Structure 1
Amino acid sequence: MKIEADALKLDGIRHGFFTRKGGISTGIYESLNIGLGSDDTRDKVLENRQRVADEFQIPSERLVSPYQIHSPDVIAVTGPWEDGSNRKADALVTNVPHLAIGVATADCGPILFADTDSGVVGAAHSGWKGAHSGVLQNTVAAMETLGAKRQSIVAVLGPTISQKAYEVGPEFFERFVDAAADHGRYFKPSQKPTHHMFDLPAFITDCLKDMNLDKVVDLSLCTYADEERFFSYRRTTHRNEPDYGRQISAISLGY
């Protein structure tokens, strides 16, 4: 049902990079689809989210995730969402125990952060746009605002689409290389003329390493290739399927 990173098996921390297994959804959403934005039956999604919350031994309302918009925006949360609260962001941070913060993904990178010395955790959703616009740096800065120290922060990248499965067009390539000449190292030529294969995991982990955190780990799990365990937006697109499920990666303080 979930994958745990050795680097996050820390005192006072619960976490999980949840797979698509262990839920009740069927068809293209089989089985642990937690995507409230999907066209899956809402009651099934809510039950799936309850099962994730059960892994943290908390009520389902204390499993908090944002309304993701591929932005650099981060919200510091102190409890369950209140009616009318702004949920639009791509990362959450907290220093409140027994509150699980998580992000939904289906190819983009889920990154879980923890500073056990200061008692601060974070969760970020990072596709190319979020990484390019600063969501990772903003997550670390938001953790520091809560008292974390970057030299004590552990960051782990969970299941993400790999370079072998991520083909992009010339406009994408030009945007990255124009931003920084050395960004060319994240691309390999594809079999299509003017197209390239983009290494999103390497780009994310390099952004994290540039911040001099205590530890940066990539679990090296490909969402596209491992259909048995992970949902993939790109795989769904290639098959012309009408929708796709989402998996969640979450972290909390306290036992």
Structure 2
Amino acid sequence: MSTATYVVSDSLTMLRRNLKHAQRYPAMTFSVVVMPVMMLLMFNYAYGNTLGAGIGGGNYIDYVAPGIVLMTAMAGALVTAVGVCTDMTEGIVNRFRTMAISRSAFLAGHVIGSLIQTMIAVVLVIGAAFAMGFRPSAGPVEWLAAIGLLGFVALAMTWVSAAIGLVAKTVESASNLPLPLQFLPFIGSAIVPTDSMPTALRWFAEYQPFTPIIETLRGLLMGTGIGASGWVALAWCTGLTLLGFFWARSVFYRR
């Protein structure tokens, strides 16, 4: 077999390993779904009338759901940090390095496994949003574009998360280090429009990575214009993917 064939075969083996871990220990995956659903319930039913009136009196679930779905994609991806750090600190990686296994297969297995679990969580949260009254007007093409964008976000954040897991010294720190990233959508247009924020905060909210991604996702699902947000969102996703990939690769090959 060629070198590429060995890499693919080893990566699939690592993927099966990580999916079996997720199956045996579903609490982490379960929490990725539960928290976004709880946020949907809270913002829609507890604050929906007030916040909906502030954005023009529309159905608030239609505004907030795309932002919460994006947070689901991010949260699912960032769980990778815990899995990678666990493997690094428990010594299993040292055993892998003594075996005839492609070195890139370890990270590939974690990233692909996390991506699969994250997209399942995204589908479940979208289903919960529908049950709460979310009614997007997207057609098949827009839905494919929206799912593709969510997958790109999940891929980017999974690579960043893998790098964080590699540099973290303990599993506890690996679970805490990604938290600032998870809060960034709140300081964006996920919950309220950025033009309702104070000037300094509005400037940050408009130019941080996740606001154009949220606006693109919302535009695709709700049939509103996305303007230049789509290209900006793709640029941010590409940049974050490359950053996470080369960061993770560099750290893993040094350790």
With the shorter chain as reference, the TM-score category is: under 0.3
Q: Output the TM-score relative to the length of structure 2.
A: 0.27
Q: Between Structure 1 and Structure 2, which shows a larger proportion of helix residues?
A: 2
TM-score normalized by the length of structure 1: 0.27
